[in-house]
């Protein structure tokens, strides 16, 4: 039931707290400039490590999540691609912090795949990494799994589940021009054939074993399509890079397929259970987005963006100061209608947009005579 053999059981601290630090879009390994090798690639990697070290020391988290685009895979060589994972993880490993990864579109490229990254992380960081592959089509989308967090090490049932889903997708090209995208990799959504049934199965096992599904945080690199719908709301955080249509469900970002809905529906039906038990689904991918929002349009589930944690990748006007998203959990707030504190933590040692996510977050957008009316089935809310 989620306890990995020979791995430490994750627990809240003595004060009943558990803090998660989320880095997204690091883009290590960019080495091309005007068709040739460029000095700014390694320089940017060093700056990204500074960002991570600074924020980790400022926040002192209990857990770290790398939420996709660890590297710019089309710019690396196949024989040294995994070395950029070592660079990315170094500040976290040096502080002996446990961590997990999701994987992004740039982690699936000509010279690296999600499968290779997952296997390398499991083999070389088994003492700290909780990343694994439970289900999904290899090699492009098999990074789907969950990690439990307990109040105490001797507890039977956890108080929190962190879910990690692989939004697949593929970027082609090796710096000297685009190449063909393999037919099996031409998608931008969590696999609808394996992941929804996995969520249904795992949540049923949790109910049978523990009596209920614990409150959840969900991590996935490419945001669900509903984030595009609610991006126009005046919410705190950056809106430089509205997800239109850089979201799940699009075939090559051109035609919306609706194939992200089976997974979203499974999250809502099996994990959220109409009780606000999914405190947030958080994503990267859109570097200039760092807001959280929820409405009936999103089935009452809060959707968040992490911002931009790396000096690789494109930059928007308000993402020049790199950041991480923080989730600060308290055992006292994880019972009925659980809540979580979240904020953005920056490399200049400031924080911003501190909010409490839960049933009262953005209540004006979720008011209804009957609360059950807020938990609408996602296929009815396009």
Rounded Cα gap, residues 54 and 347, in angstroms: 6
Residue 125 CB partners (closer than 8 Å, separation 6+)? 89, 93, 99
The DSSP element (H or E) to which 261 belongs, if any, is helix 261-266
Task: Return the SS3 of 251.
Answer: strand
Bond into 207 cis (ω within 30): no
Candidates 150, 249, 239, 146; CA nearest to 201 is 146
Which pLDDT belongs to residue 370?
A: 41
Which pLDDT belongs to residue 177?
A: 52
pTM of the predicted model over 0.85: yes
Q: What is the pLDDT along the chain (382 residues), one digit of tens a residue?
A: 666 777 899 999 999 999 999 999 999 998 766 555 667 789 999 999 999 999 999 999 999 999 999 999 988 888 989 999 999 999 999 999 999 999 999 999 988 999 999 999 999 999 999 999 999 999 999 999 999 999 999 999 999 999 999 999 999 875 555 567 888 888 999 999 999 999 999 999 999 999 999 999 999 999 999 999 899 998 999 999 999 889 999 986 688 999 999 999 999 999 998 778 999 999 999 999 999 999 887 788 999 999 999 999 999 999 999 999 999 999 999 988 899 999 999 999 999 999 999 999 998 887 654 433 333 333 333 2
Which pLDDT belongs to residue 2?
A: 62
- The domains of the chain are located at 17-380
Which pLDDT belongs to residue 361?
A: 94
Rounded Cα gap, residues 225 and 204, in angstroms: 26
Q: Does the 17-380 domain belong in CATH 3.60.21.10?
A: yes
Which pLDDT belongs to residue 5?
A: 72
Residue 50 CB partners (closer than 8 Å, separation 6+)? 347
Altogether, the residues listed in the chain come to a count of 382
DSSP secondary structure string for all residues of 264-330: HHHIIIIIITTTT-EEEEEE-SSTTB--EE--GGGTT--EEE-----SSS---TT-SS-EEEEEEEE
Block residue for tokens 């595009």: 228
Which pLDDT belongs to residue 378?
A: 36
The DSSP element (H or E) to which 17 belongs, if any, is strand 17-23
Task: Return the SS3 of 112.
Answer: strand
């Amino acid at each position: 039931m989620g306890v990995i053999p020979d791995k430490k059981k994750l627990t809240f601290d003595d004060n009943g707290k558990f803090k998660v630090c989320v880095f997204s879009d690091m883009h290590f390994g960019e080495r091309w400039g005007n068709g040739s090798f460029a000095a700014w690639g390694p320089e940017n990697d060093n700056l990204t490590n500074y960002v991570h070290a600074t924020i980790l020391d400022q926040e002192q988290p209990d857990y770290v999540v790398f939420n996709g685009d660890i590297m710019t895979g089309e710019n690396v060589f196949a024989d040294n691609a995994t070395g950029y994972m070592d660079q990315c993880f170094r500040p976290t490993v040096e502080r002996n912090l446990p961590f997990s990864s999701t994987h992004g579109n740039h982690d699936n490229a000509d010279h690296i795949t999600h499968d290779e990254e997952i296997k390398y992380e499991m083999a070389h960081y088994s003492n700290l990494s909780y990343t694994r592959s439970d289900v999904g089509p290899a090699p492009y989308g098999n990074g789907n799994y969950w990690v439990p967090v307990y109040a105490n090490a001797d507890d039977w049932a956890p108080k929190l589940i962190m879910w990690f889903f692989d939004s697949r997708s593929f970027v082609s090209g090796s710096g000297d021009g685009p190449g063909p995208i393999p037919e099996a990799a031409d998608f931008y959504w969590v696999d609808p054939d394996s992941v929804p049934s996995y969520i249904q199965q795992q949540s049923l096992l949790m109910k049978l074993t523990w009596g209920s599904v614990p409150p959840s945080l969900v991590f996935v690199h490419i945001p669900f399509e509903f984030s595009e719908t609610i991006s126009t709301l005046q919410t705190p955080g950056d809106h430089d890079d509205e997800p239109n249509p850089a979201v799940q469900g699009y075939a090559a970002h051109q035609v919306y397929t609706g194939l992200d809905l089976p997974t979203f529906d499974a999250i809502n039906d099996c994990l959220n259970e109409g009780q606000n038990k999914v405190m947030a689904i958080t994503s990267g991918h859109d570097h200039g987005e760092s807001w959280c929002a929820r409405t009936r349009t999103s089935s009452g589930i809060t959707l968040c963006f992490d911002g931009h944690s790396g000096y690789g990748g494109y930059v928007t006007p308000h993402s020049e100061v790199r950041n991480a998203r923080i989730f600060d959990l308290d055992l006292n707030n994880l019972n009925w209608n659980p809540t979580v504190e979240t904020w953005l933590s920056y490399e200049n040692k400031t924080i911003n947009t501190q909010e409490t996510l839960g049933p009262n977050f953005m209540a004006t957008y979720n008011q209804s005579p009957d609360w059950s009316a807020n938990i609408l089935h996602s296929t009815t809310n396009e």
